[in-house]
Amino acid sequence: MVTWRNAISSIDSQRSRRVDAPDRRFEMKTRKATPKSPDYGLDAPKVVRGLFIAAAVLMLSGWIASRPAASLRSDWLKVLGNIAFNTGFGCFCGGVFMLYSSYLGKFRQRDRILRRLSLRGDETVLDVGCGHGLLLIAAAKRVPRGRAVGIDLWSQKDQSNNSREATLRNAMLEGVAHRVDVRDGDMQNMPFADATFDAVIAHFAIHNIPNREGRRLAIREIVRTLKPGGQVALSDLKSVGLYADELRKTGMSEVKISGISLWTWPPSRTVTARKPTAAQLKAVP
For the segment 125-138, what is each residue's pLDDT rounded down to a tens digit? 999 999 999 999 99
Let me know: does 217 contact 244? Beta carbons within 8 Å.
no
Q: Report domain extents, the chain.
A: 45-102, 119-276
pLDDT of the residue at 36: 78
Against a cut of 0.75, is the pTM above it?
A: yes
The mean pLDDT of 58-62, rounded to a whole number, is 92
Return the bridge partners of 234, or none: 202, 271
Spacing of C-alpha 119 from chain mean position: 22
DSSP 8-class letter at 102: I
What is 119-276's CATH superfamily? Vaccinia Virus protein VP39 (3.40.50.150)
* Three-state SS at 154: coil
| Confidence bin at 265 (pLDDT 50/70/90) | very high
- Is the confidence at residue 67, as pLDDT, over 80? no
175 residue type, one letter: G
32 residue type, one letter: K
Between 69 and 43, name the one with better pLDDT: 43
The mean pLDDT of 28-57, rounded to a whole number, is 79
